[in-house]
Amino acid sequence: MTCNRSLMALLAVLAISGVGMWSTDAMNPAVAATITKSAILEDPVAPKVAPKGYDITIVQFADYNCGYCRRMHSVIAALIASDPKIRLVYRDWPIFGPVSVEAARAAIASQWQGKHEAFNAALYAGAGKLDSLAIRTAANRAGVSWPRLQTDLVKHKVEIDALLARTSEQAPAIGLQGTPAFIIGAYLVPGAIDLATLRKAVAEARRNPNGPAKAR
């Protein structure tokens, strides 16, 4: 997605707040019942950065082997560093194969030793596609205890696998076709954008927490 589109076009704008903001007509009713705002924003297993007093949530759908996700990591990091009232929810959506799944599972597991943010950054810091060795190298660079990580991968296997399954169900159900993608307040923003545009999107989401008036 190019950054020279107007903000309202960029925000494509799909609102996720309020009844009727998504079309669930084509969904299996059992699936539609689980695709709620709370289920996506408040998943109990999804890693989060939640500063005290935050006033807006960004949900990031990403794959560690996605080049655009790697590009967006530094953009999101800069935004978070400059805006202390943003909560970030990580929703790993590993769509680029087995190594993506391996990296996602390891990143999620690292939260139980308090290393997710550092490990997430280290996984994006390398050049090119990840492999198993690169994942372990990133873990070492982030100060992750590898033995503890292996223990947590086993101990929390059911939770981790269930989270990934929920994300793989929810992401396409709300209209996503790939990574990266972001929920910013009431808006769904697919694709990579620059920092200035991201800041404008956050400001717009704060001004209109329920989405554009025409969508309500």
CATH of the domain at 194: 3.40.30.10
Within-domain flag for 148: yes
Within-domain flag for 1: no
The neighbouring-strand residues paired with 189 are: 182
Residue 126 has pLDDT above 60, yes or no: yes
The domain total for the chain is: 1
Within-domain flag for 214: no
Within-domain flag for 107: yes
Residue-level pLDDT at 203: 93
* Token output for 24: 């669930």
Express each pLDDT in 155-165 by its tens digit: 999 999 999 99
Residue 4 has pLDDT above 90, yes or no: no
Within-domain flag for 146: yes
User: Whole domain around residue 34: which residue ranges?
Assistant: 7-209
Express each pLDDT in 97-107 by its tens digit: 999 999 999 99
Nearby residues of 52 by Cβ (< 8 Å), 6 or more positions away: none
Express each pLDDT in 39-55 by its tens digit: 999 999 999 999 999 99
pTM attached to this predicted model: 0.85
